[in-house]
Amino acid sequence: MILHSIDSGYFKLDGGAMFGVVPKTFWHKLNPADENNLCSWAMRCLLIEDGKKLILVDTGMGDKQDLKWQSYYYRHGEGELVKSIRAKGYSENDVTDVILSHLHFDHCGGAVKWNSDRTKFEMTFPNAKYWSHSEHFNSAIHPNQREKATFFKDNIQPIQEANQLFFVDKVTEKPFQNIEFLLADGHTEKMLMPKISYQNKQILFIADTIPSHAHIPVPYVMGYDINPLITMKEKENLLSQAIENEWIIFFDHDPLYDCATIQKTEKGFALKEKGNLNEFV
């Protein structure tokens, strides 16, 4: 097995929205905001070569939306999904499976693209099975008012129409030998968190339950979460397991670090080690 961190670019979100009720005097030290109170966040994906399978976890926001819409999120950086995959020595045609942790635009937008003359949508990874959870998919196509602005039909329906959509909870056999799926309901309903067994290590793609190292303290919960109290319980449970089982946490939005390990201190959960993926595996 070979693991690669994939850079699909950075974008900006309001710092207050990203840290919920935590005062700016606290979170500003961890991820400083600009003059508009916006912080930079990565859209980091994970590429897994496992035998004959090449598995991509998440796809960033893509570039289907018009420039005005993209300007709301100040996309920046040199990273781009397909370019980053090619830089690792693979082609988009090589990808056999795409695991979508959830269907918010910044995690699944790159799954679908315009064709060459921008007349219709096509799959970015034409040979891949796209994996979601059936209950999450239903919540995305029938969104609540809180999440309506982040579920885009253009990101979701073309996958189903191409007959490339599969659900991890509806298959009779385990789809991946070395990947187990943990579920979370705090950020959004039935979010997938793939836990990868790599040699004698466990790497948890923790998705938006803990989007960055700055969100490790249990009360540091995003304002975007549909059930923040559930998120707090999920964080406490996952961080306790991470310490007990020596899991490596993989962050999707951390602007500085790919991964971290966790320790318990007198003040609560905290970083133990942090760095790039290749420093941990």
Q: What is the pLDDT of residue 66?
A: 86
**Sign of the torsion angle spanned by Cα atoms 191, 103, 13, 147:** negative
Q: What is the pLDDT of residue 116?
A: 87
User: Does 67 score more than 90 pLDDT?
Assistant: no
Q: Where are the alpha helices (DSSP H) in 81-201?
A: 81-87, 105-108, 134-141, 153-161
User: Does 124 score more than 90 pLDDT?
Assistant: yes
Q: What is the pLDDT of residues 34-45, one digit of tens each?
A: 999 999 999 999
- State the chain's mean pLDDT as an integer: 96
Which string of DSSP letters, residue by residue, matches 196-252?
Answer: EEETTEEEEE-GGGS-SGGG-STT---TT-S-HHHHHHHHHHHHHHHHHHTPEEE-S
Task: State the average pLDDT over residues 123-151.
Answer: 96
Q: What is the pLDDT of residue 168?
A: 98
* Rg of the chain taking only CA atoms, in angstroms: 18
Backbone angles phi, psi at 199, to 5 degrees: 55, -120
| CATH of region 2-279, choose from 3.60.15.10, 3.40.640.10, 3.20.20.80, 3.40.50.460 | 3.60.15.10
Give domain limits for the chain: 2-279
Task: State the average pLDDT over residues 112-138.
Answer: 96
Q: What is the pLDDT of residues 167-222, one digit of tens each?
A: 999 999 999 999 999 999 999 999 999 999 999 999 999 999 999 999 999 999 99
Tokens of 149: 């602005």
For 22, residues 6+ apart whose C-beta sits below 8 A from its C-beta are: 219, 220
Name the pLDDT band for 232 (thresholds 50, 70, 90): very high
Task: Give CA–CA dist 96/85, Å, rounded.
Answer: 13
Q: What is the pLDDT of residue 9?
A: 97
